[in-house]
Structures are given as C-alpha cells and as structure tokens.
C-alpha cells in the first residue's frame, strides 16, 4: 500500500461536471474512487463543476488527476489544458487529442485523409440539406458523447425533429447509417483489448440502451468475429486512436457491415467506467480486474 502512495502521491478524481453526461460521470467516478481507495491510493474526490476547480486543486495540493469527466470540458480538451497550465499530470489524452476526438467531423476528416474507412457524412444547418447522403442517416451533435441527441432517421419526414433535438447541443452532422453489428475496442496503455459486440434491443445503442439495465442491451465479449477480423479491428483501432493524437486509454467504436467491412464511427477519450461500461468488460476478458484496470489508467499520468 505504501509504495502505491509513494508512486502516485495525492490523486484527485475529477468527476461529475456539468455536461449532459453528468449522471454517468458521477457513477464512473464513484466506482473509480472506490477502486483506488481499496488499493491504498491517497484519493480526493472533486466534483468538477463551475469556476472553483483551480482553487480546489491548488488548495488540495494534488500530485495528479484521474479524469472521469464524460463529455463537455472533461473530454473536449479544456480540463486537460487547465491541468497542463497548472503543471498537474493527468490521465489519458492531451488537449489536442481530446479536442479532435470530441469533434466527430474533424476526427472523420483526419481518418479519411489517412485512408481509414468511415461512413460518409456532412455538417448540416437549419436548412437540413442531406443531399449526397443515403438513408438511413444518423443525425447527431458533432461534439457530444453517450449518444446524447443522436437519432436514426429513415426518411425525410423525420429529419426536422431529429435536427432540432440534436441542435440543442451545438453543431449537427448527418452521417450515413451503416446497417450491421456495432463493435467497440478499448485501448489501455497501447494495448487493444478484446472487441465487444454490442447488441441493443432498442432501435440502436442510444443513451437509454447504454445506461439502463431494463433496456436489455446484450454485450458479447469475445465478440464472436473471426480471428482475422479481430486482429484487423485491433490494428485499426490503435491506428485511428494514434492518428487523432490520443494516448493513455480510450475506446474506438465501429460498425461492421454484413459484407465484413469495418467502419470507424468515433473515438472516446474518457469512456464510461460504470458497472455496465464497456472498457471494464473488455479488461475482464483480457484478465484484468476492475481495480487493476483503474491502476493502469492512473499509470497513464506518470
């Protein structure tokens, strides 16, 4: 226990925040705080809302931060920039990696430039011009996580309502919806963990399907894809992650079409760590306990 304290010093877990994903962040944070305490790490829990964060971090004299803020400032690079200025080491990707991953359209353009497969998409405004794209479409905010404000649209008559909901969260994009299996690959310390096939009972893997047990979403890990495809998805996940300047830990989401073509959808730099979350499930399959996984994530701040 003593060597853990010496190794990491005083660790602040930043969670909560005031993004649309606050509730999930609170749940992730509590699970992570408990895991660290169980291993004797000196932890201080900070609900990172409002303008007091700088004062709290300075007063608490923390040695490093484990960021569990989903969406908003915690995932778009703002908190990372602040910690950089305060010279406090932190977990996960740097400011640039977070900002690029959070902006789904810029991430997509970068991936396209690298020749990686990703569905066709475009930014839309109140005119909702989706010319050049084929239905069904995903209408979603450019910079939100947890599928907040995301809609599947099968025909033109459904566009307006979907756009208006997504637009509450900022800039909106339309993306061709790949019919097929939803797969995800978690990355920790440059290791691509076993892929997970997400099988939602609802129309797609939306906020409800992600965070409520009653939604009946099934998770398959191992995902059941062939070994060749498993190797391919892991390599692509790592390449896509690095291309965005991401590091430490995160998750890359894919769609697999019926003809076994993989499509990159998005990267997450602070994925969920609740009891229903995907990274812990993949880590368990790999042979890591939840507590071991949390320490690996914390080590990305060293």
Burial of 276 (0-12, 13-18, 19+ CB in 10 A): middle
Q: Which of 268, 277, 300, 301 is catalytic?
A: 268
Establish whether 253 is a catalytic residue.
yes
Q: Which residue of the set 94, 146, 147, 206 is catalytic? A: 146
DSSP symbols for the chain: -HHHHHHH-EEEEEE--SSTTHHHHHHHHHHHHHHHHHTT-EEEEEE--TT-HHHHHHHHT-SEEEE---SHHHHSSHHHHHHHHTT--BSS--HHHHHHHHSHHHHHHHHHHTT-----EEEE-TT---TT-PSSEEEEETT--TTTT-EEE-SGGGHHHHHHHHHTTS-EEEEEPPPSEEEEEEEETTEEPPPEEEE-SSSSS-HHHHH-GGG--EEESS----HHHHHHHHHHHHHHHHHTT--SEEEEEEEE-TTS-EEEEEEESS---STT-HHHHHHHHHT--HHHHHHHHHHTT-
146 flagged as catalytic: yes
Of the candidates 27, 253, 300, 301, the residue annotated as catalytic is 253
Question: Is 266 an active-site residue?
Answer: yes
Q: Is 268 a catalytic residue?
A: yes
Which residue in the list 15, 21, 163, 195 is annotated as catalytic? Answer: 21
Options 206, 251, 300, 301, the catalytic residue: 251
Q: Between vectors from CA 56 to CA 53 and to CA 59, what angle results, nearest 5°?
A: 150
Catalytic residue among 211, 263, 277, 301: 211
**Which one is catalytic: 248, 272, 277, 300?**
272
Annotated active-site residue 21? The verdict is yes
Task: Confirm if 184 and 195 have CB atoms less than 8 A apart.
Answer: yes
Inter-helix orientation angle 53-60/78-85, to 10°: 40
Closest CA to 127 of 159, 157, 165: 159
Query: Known catalytic residues?
Result: 21, 146, 211, 251, 253, 266, 268, 272
């Amino acid at each position: 226990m003593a060597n853990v304290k010496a190794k990491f010093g005083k660790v602040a877990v930043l969670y909560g925040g005031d993004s649309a994903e606050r509730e999930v962040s609170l749940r992730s944070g509590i699970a992570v705080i408990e895991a660290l305490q169980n291993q004797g790490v000196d932890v201080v829990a900070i609900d990172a809302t409002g303008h007091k964060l700088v004062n709290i971090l300075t007063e608490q004299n923390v040695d490093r931060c484990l960021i569990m803020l989903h969406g908003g400032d915690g995932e778009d690079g703002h908190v990372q920039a602040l910690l950089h200025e305060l010279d406090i080491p932190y977990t996960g990707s740097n400011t640039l990696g977070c900002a690029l991953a959070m902006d789904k359209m810029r991430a997509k353009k970068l991936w396209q430039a690298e020749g990686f497969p990703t569905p066709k998409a475009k930014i839309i405004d109140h005119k909702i011009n989706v010319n050049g794209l084929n239905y069904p479409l995903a209408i979603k905010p450019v910079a939100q996580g947890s599928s907040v404000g995301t809609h599947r649209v099968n025909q033109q008559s459904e566009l307006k309502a979907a756009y208006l909901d997504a637009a509450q969260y900022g800039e909106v994009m339309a993306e061709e919806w790949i019919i097929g299996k939803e797969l995800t690959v978690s990355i920790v310390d440059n290791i691509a963990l076993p892929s997970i096939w997400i099988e939602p009972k609802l129309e797609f893997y939306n906020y409800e399907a992600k965070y409520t047990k009653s939604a009946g979403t099934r998770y398959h890990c191992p995902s059941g894809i062939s070994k060749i495809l498993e190797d391919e998805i892991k390599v692509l996940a790592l390449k896509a992650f690095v291309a965005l300047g991401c590091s430490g830990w995160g998750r890359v989401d894919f769609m697999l079409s019926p003809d076994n073509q993989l499509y990159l959808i998005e990267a997450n730099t602070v994925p969920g760590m609740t009891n229903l979350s995907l990274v812990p499930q993949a880590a368990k399959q790999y042979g890591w306990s939840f507590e071991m996984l949390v320490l690996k994530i914390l080590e990305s701040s060293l």
